[in-house]
A = this chain, B = another copy of it.
Amino acid sequence: MIILGPNRYGKAETRVVRVTRHGDAHSIKDLNVSTALSGDMSAVHLSGDNSAVLTTDAQKNTVYAFAGKHGIGAIEDFALLLARHFVDSQPTIHHARVAVEEYAWERNAASGHSFVRSGRETRTCVAHYDGSRAWVVSGLADLVLLNTTNSEFWGYIKDEYTTLPETRDRILATAVNASWRHAEPDERDWDKSYDRARQAMLAAFADTYSLSLQQTLYAMGARVLAGCPEICEARLSLPNRHHLLVDLSPFGLGNENEVFFAADRPYGLIEGAVLRDDAPAAGPAWE
């Protein structure tokens, strides 16, 4: 017999910009919000009966209405507020997942109302709520880092397809995509927590003498946990952005780790989790 399995639906990528005015000093929050709901959804799949469906259009409207009514503080708070609303207000909705991306802006010069978008990383979060419990994962995407030295790579398996020469000095570059799970999603200063986690990763990347990108990944994850007692698990996905030493010898030139080709594809991809041995069960946090 054919049956319906896990499912969810929602409105993806609702772009909301919220301005707050304190006299002449304005501030802005620039978000991309994706909501996804689950619940009594057999009928809509099997027969098109929409009576249990809160439309994705209403989900979008709720994002805008809540941005107006409640303002937007930390994205984790905004995500939790939305997730709780959907589940608590609709009997047919049993689970909500709200994912938020935040784009950072900086003030432009001395102006109180002019801003420059900071293109560095995107801050992210995903909140889940099932009517009784909540889960929060915070993170960042596309934080591009590079070390010009203190990276080696040698001592690996040499099978019949291995041609890579060992190196005692290479460029190490990556675009960090990282998420970290909060042990308890209770009230906190999410912004401070984010800054601590971000700084921990930056510091670990800079001061780890690296023998492999895996080692650096673990060091970054462990540093987040060491510096942030509220976080119980970190997951990192680190593309190895290969910087290939260019052979300049045909032109009578040496190349003492000075000239590199920044390759696009293929790229190494290192993925891993670092967690406390007593971390609570993750539940749906990573879904």
Contact = CB atoms under 8 A, between A and B. Distances in A.
Interface string A257-270: 11111111111111
Interface in A200-238: 202-203, 205-207, 210-215, 217-218, 222, 225-226, 233, 235
A148 B47 contact: no
Given A47-B215, A253-B69, A268 B202 contact: no
Interface stretch (A5-13, A73-81, A124-132, A185-193): A5-13
What is the copy number of this chain in the assembly? 4
A281 interface: no
A58 B161 CA distance: 5
Nearest to A28: B148
A19 interface: yes
A133 interface: no
A69 B163 CA distance: 18
Given A10-B269, A117-B144, A267-B11, A253 B65 contact: yes
A122 to B, nearest CB: 9
Contact of A7 (B44, B57, B145, B273): B273
Contacts of A115: 145-148
Nearest to A26: B148
A171 B113 CA distance: 10
A142 B117 CA distance: 10
